Structure 1
Amino acid sequence: MTCELCGRSGVTCTVHHLTPKEEGGAFGPTAILCVACHKQIHALYTNRELAIRLYTLKQLKEDEQIRRFLKWIKKQSSTKKVRVSKSNEKNRKK
């Protein structure tokens, strides 16, 4: 499959609810994302932040934190296991 966020193909993909289910997006639009992109999004942002300001692929791609990640991940092999860590910003928001 091909990730709709990073564009890599041959990766394992999952369904990402553009508005998180817990924020009312259970029946809303979704995107097919590779596991690395999906994990990175949820490591960087709270569900509330995703629902308020990052609820489209365009908004995600334009966000500075994801842009930096996408620049890096696009250079990685589709078979590479990628570790993600939580953002210090997200930890402070809790």
Structure 2
Amino acid sequence: MDVCELCGRSGVTCTIHHLTPKEEGGAHKPTASLCIPCHKQIHALYTNQELAIRLDSISKLKQDDQIRRYLKWIRKQPASKSVKMKKSNNRKQKK
């Protein structure tokens, strides 16, 4: 079990998140270790272009209003809890 670099919860299963998406040229750029709910939430909220242009670091992600509300909530959830993600209305419109 690991510690999520975004929410800071420990005892979670983490995945590798490319801070600049691979589709946007980030295959060999920095990555972060994120719990599955945080990883899914990032991709539900933001397009790959947004992630590449303005949210290409953990500190930038933590400062963004959309993810801050989510982080405040997820930090209160036990690591063992299964969490469902919903796409934001903004993300759905951008497709």
TM score, norm. by length of structure 1: 0.99
Question: Which residue of 2 is the match for residue 75 of structure 1?
Answer: 76
Whichever residue aligns with residue 75 of structure 2, its letter is K
Residue correspondences, number = 94
Structure 1 position 34, deviation (Å):
0.2
- Separation of aligned partners in 2, 1:91 and 1:6: 24
- Separation of aligned partners in 1, 2:57 and 2:12: 21
Question: Which residue of 2 is the match for residue 22 of structure 1?
Answer: 23
Structure 2 residue 38 is matched with structure 1 residue 41: no
User: Per residue, is there more strand in 1 or in 2?
Assistant: 2
TM score, norm. by length of structure 2: 0.98
Cα-Cα RMSD: 0.4
Whichever residue aligns with residue 50 of structure 1, its letter is L
Structure 1 stretches of 4+ moved >3 Å: none
Question: Which residue of 2 is the match for residue 92 of structure 1?
Answer: 93
Structure 2 residue 4 is matched with structure 1 residue 3: yes
In structure 2, the gaps of 5 or more residues are none
